[in-house]
Structure 1
Amino acid sequence: MANILCFNLCLFALNMLLYLTTFEAYNPGFSVQLIRKNSSYSPFSISNHFHKHKHRHLPFSRVPKKPLASGPFTRVISNNGDFLMKLSLGSPPVEIYGLIDTGSDLVWTQCIPCNNCYKQKNPMFEPQRSGTYSSIPCDSEECNLVPGQTCSPQKLCGYSYGYADSSVTQGVLSRETTTFSSTNGDSTVVEGIVFGCGHKNTGTFNENDMGIIGLGGGPLSLVSQVGAKYGGRRFSQCLVPFHTDPNSSGTISFGEASDVSGEGVVTTPLVSAEGQTLYLVTLKGISVGDKFVPFDCSNEISKGNIMIDSGTPATYLPQEVYDQL
């Protein structure tokens, strides 16, 4: 993938707005807060474990110019290069901190029983304790959308979902009520979110990771699932650099709450690729001081030569571009 670049927005402060313009129903949208792992707001503030992910990458955007007075609101915390987003699953709600990943679609968390799983600090989600949990059958439309689907003897939809760093989650595709805290102090409930209840999960995870929140462009991503209720499939993301106050935070906003406009705002178009749900843009070059380093000296710039992925902390460049830089 010599032409694909993965940009860490925390390092480059790259701010972009994602717009997917399918509107199905009016709703002003909601915002989710991003907070650091060592913040006093974080449940993981006591420990400071490091981990290195090589698959997922980094997101984009800015705080909405007018935060909604009553939109759903959830914290997201810095996790040594990745970011964790808090949401609650089930009835009664159970807090889940998942890695936000614009490079994949599936939303999943570790579920009991989980005999072959990575170590997790917080309690795992127990489907049997939720009054709103349901497994998705094999013959459902949703089951046809998930990779590696299998059918259990109980006719339930099994899945196997892999990542570029060889991490894998396997489990049962399920449906659950998701609860977001709100900017006005109330709770906002979104029913029927499809997610993976992972019973076998391996890879480069640490004990703070409770799963992954897929924010890609596919139909199973959180962006797509909430899009019909909150002003279309669009979102914006504001991240904070690591050297700032650990109690500072960023946000993810969905629907109309994701609008980023006003003085100083710049945008770049997304590039569509057939069969792809990734977020691609075109990189023409990189400026170092007053020196411009072109991506391609022949001026034959390929459209969509950079991928934005919030699950990969590092920035990757083709060797020839790296050497010039």
Structure 2
Amino acid sequence: MAFLTPAVTFSGLQCLPCQQCYKQKNPIFNPSFSSSYNFLPCESIQCHLLDTVFCSSEKACNYTYGYGSNALTEGVLATETIALGSNSFNNIVFGCGHNNTGGFNENEMGLVGLGGRNLSLVSQISSQLGTSIKFSYCLIPFHANPNFTSTINFGSISEVSGSGVVSTPLVPKDDKTYYFVTLEGISIGKNFIPYNNSSSQTVSKGNVFIDSGVPPTLLPEDFYNRLEQEVRKAIKLTPFQNPQLGSQLCYKRATMEDIAPTSTAHFDGGASVPLVSTSIFISPMEGVFCFAMQPINDDVGIFGNFAQSNILIGFDLHKGIVSFKPTDCTKQ
């Protein structure tokens, strides 16, 4: 499988021959076995859409690209035919990585870039489908049965509709890679904790971006501290401390489902999105559950993939909205 992330410019996977590859369970892609594989030359237009490219002695478009998870990939930009369901898409640009290090794991073959720029997979597929950039995905919860897989759809079949759908406006910014929205606050039980400390302050538009490549939800320190305090009040247990867990708020329990408070993320436009217990508490070790949000020293937060689990999330760049629908993603 590949890891989905809207906050990435282009897609990439491990390729033979490997100068340095991380261990992966599935076979590593071998370009010599493909009749539709071609590397991009330095003079190609696509080569110059990335900032970190250079020409090889063979005039191939080589790249270096770092991801937010501290993963680093180096290789050659290439094109390939890919099949999604019954559809095939020709000349899809991707990174054929021959040197891949950092935050990858053995279940991953690479990353799927879903950002708004021209080299992302969703932009290239939308162009061939003749549609605006539109896609949706449904992420299974962390530690779900490995026989279940998350799903993704592109084009018209990605429409999120039916009962329970809520939507919030996308906030356009200079960097087209990221999908910014406005988070007004989060409720713990019946208590609403605003993003800003003072009710007199106007919430900045586009104060978070949605990223399935970052596991925890990252929030400005002041907002996080007020949120964590409310969680502590709602859970009538003594927090569990362990040097391995650092300063994380954790509890030692067989399960968190019976004590985790009801939580809701409130976005601009009246979009209230329920967060299930597996969205806000993650088990880093047997019998221990930790709050799946963390503080950052920044005004702009990240709505991570833990919080997105069991929600069908659709991005429609033509309408300029993100839609949410509570869904059992293991049944999609």
- TM interval, short-chain normalised: 0.5 to 0.7
Amino acid at match of 1:294: P
Shift of residue 245, structure 1, vs aligned partner: 6.0
1:110-121 pair list within 5 angstroms: 110-121=14-25
1:207-226 pair list within 5 angstroms: 207-226=106-125
1:260 corresponds in structure 2 to: 160
Shift of residue 215, structure 1, vs aligned partner: 0.8
How many Å separate the matches in 1 of 2:138 and 2:113?
Answer: 17
1:168 corresponds in structure 2 to: 72
2:99 corresponds in structure 1 to: 200
Check conservation: 2:116, 2:178, Cα contact below 8 A: yes
How many Å separate the matches in 1 of 2:17 and 2:195?
Answer: 49
TM-score, length-scaled by structure 1:
0.65
Amino acid at match of 1:112: L
How many Å separate the matches in 2 of 1:261 and 1:154?
Answer: 49
How many Å separate the matches in 2 of 1:141 and 1:324?
Answer: 48
Task: Go from structure 1 to structure 2 and tell me whether the alpha carbon gap of 1:136 and 1:249 turns closer, same or farther (over 3 Å shift).
Answer: closer
Amino acid at match of 1:257: I
Q: What is the SS of the residue equivalent to 2:23?
A: coil
Q: What is the SS of the residue equivalent to 2:214?
A: coil
Shift of residue 219, structure 1, vs aligned partner: 0.8
How many Å separate the matches in 2 of 1:102 and 1:161?
Answer: 15
Amino acid at match of 2:207: N
Shift of residue 137, structure 1, vs aligned partner: 0.5
Amino acid at match of 2:162: G
Q: Which of 257, 280, 284 is 2:180 aligned to?
A: 280
Q: Is 1:240 aligned to residue 144 of structure 2?
A: no
TM-align CA RMSD: 1.7
How many Å separate the matches in 2 of 1:313 and 1:273?
Answer: 23
Q: What is the SS of the residue equivalent to 1:115?
A: coil
How many Å separate the matches in 2 of 1:176 and 1:258?
Answer: 23
How many Å separate the matches in 1 of 2:83 and 2:62?
Answer: 25
Which of these two proteins has the greater Rg computed from alpha carbons?
A: 2
1:10 corresponds in structure 2 to: none
Q: What is the SS of the residue equivalent to 1:324?
A: helix
2:57 corresponds in structure 1 to: 153
1:302 corresponds in structure 2 to: 204
Amino acid at match of 2:213: G
Task: Go from structure 1 to structure 2 and tell me whether the alpha carbon gap of 1:293 and 1:277 turns closer, same or farther (over 3 Å shift).
Answer: same
Check conservation: 1:147, 1:160, Cα contact below 8 A: no
Question: Gaps spanning 5+ residues in structure 1: where?
Answer: 1-96, 183-187
1:1-325 pair list within 5 angstroms: 97-182=1-86, 188-230=87-129, 231-242=131-142, 247-298=147-198, 299-325=201-227
Higher relative contact order (CA 8 A, sep 6+): 1
Greater shift, 159-168 or 190-199, is seen at 159-168
How many Å separate the matches in 1 of 2:150 and 2:31?
Answer: 31
Name the one with the larger helix percent: 2
Shift of residue 300, structure 1, vs aligned partner: 2.2
How many Å separate the matches in 2 of 1:241 and 1:275?
Answer: 29
Q: What is the SS of the residue equivalent to 1:228?
A: helix
Q: Runs (4+) of structure 1 moved beyond 6 Å? A: none
Q: What is the SS of the residue equivalent to 1:200?
A: strand
Shift of residue 212, structure 1, vs aligned partner: 0.7
2:310 corresponds in structure 1 to: none
Amino acid at match of 1:121: K
Shift of residue 304, structure 1, vs aligned partner: 0.6
How many Å separate the matches in 2 of 1:297 and 1:162?
Answer: 34
Task: Go from structure 1 to structure 2 and tell me whether the alpha carbon gap of 1:248 and 1:151 turns closer, same or farther (over 3 Å shift).
Answer: closer
Shift of residue 229, structure 1, vs aligned partner: 2.6
Check conservation: 2:169, 2:181, Cα contact below 8 A: yes
Question: Gaps spanning 5+ residues in structure 2: where?
Answer: 228-332
Deviations 1:291-313 (A, max 9, x none): 11011133321111111110111
Q: What is the SS of the residue equivalent to 2:137?
A: strand
Same amino acid, percent of matched pairs: 50
Deviations 1:60-100 (A, max 9, x none): xxxxxxxxxxxxxxxxxxxxxxxxxxxxxxxxxxxxx2111
